[in-house]
Amino acid sequence: MAEKLKLYLDTTVFNYYFLDDPGREDDRKDTILLFEQIGRGSFDAYYSDLVKAEIDECEEPKRTKMLRLIERYSVRPISVYHGYEDLAELYLTRRAIPESKRDDAIHVALATVNSLDVVLSWNRRHLVKVKTIFAINEINEAKGFGRLLVTTPTEVIDYEENP
């Protein structure tokens, strides 16, 4: 692997680290493994002010635990906050992402304008879907941005183990 993948972690990734749902234990284990790989320097991981705000809305002690993941694993804040609003609006108006999921459109737009490689999410309902990924990339390419992969942590940990 020539360069490390630059990952945008949406709020679900932080949440799954502490998930107590026997039906999703494999997802939780993959999330923990992802953070361990980030900690080893296998990936560059980023979060946004929106992720921070969503974490801040959580109840204690979960809120503090999720915020500590940022520090413990050196997850970096993104730096570019201009140009994402119009892009997020395009995702919504062109129905790449449902209007009711505006924050998810913002997550994707922030990752795009910061030239990240991957958005990681456990949201398989409307974000981690082939139709959504194709629509996002069609918009990104038309606007002069690079392609973006939207996937789960499971796919990324597989990337490190089997490049």
Q: What order of strands is seen across the sheet that includes strand 149-151?
A: 76-77, 44-47, 6-9, 118-120, 149-151
CA distances from 92 to 6, 138, 150 (A): 24, 13, 16
pLDDT at 2 over 70: no
Task: Residue 138: count other Cβ atoms within 10 Å of its Cβ.
Answer: 13
Domain chopping of the chain, boundaries: 6-161
| H-only helix segments in the chain | 11-17, 25-39, 49-56, 62-72, 84-93, 102-113, 130-142, 153-161
Summarize pLDDT for 90-112 with one digit per residue, the tens.
Answer: 999 999 999 999 999 999 999 99
* CATH of the domain spanning 6-161, picked from 3.30.565.10, 2.40.110.10, 3.40.50.1010, 3.40.50.740: 3.40.50.1010
Model pLDDT, residue 3: 83
pLDDT at 159 over 70: no
Q: H or E stretch including 145?
A: none
Dump pLDDT digits (tens) for 123-157.
999 899 999 999 999 999 999 999 999 999 999 99
Mean pLDDT of 44-67: 97
Mean pLDDT of 2-11: 91
Q: What is the pLDDT of residue 92?
A: 98
Q: How confident is the model at residue 160 (pLDDT cuts 50, 70, 90)?
A: low
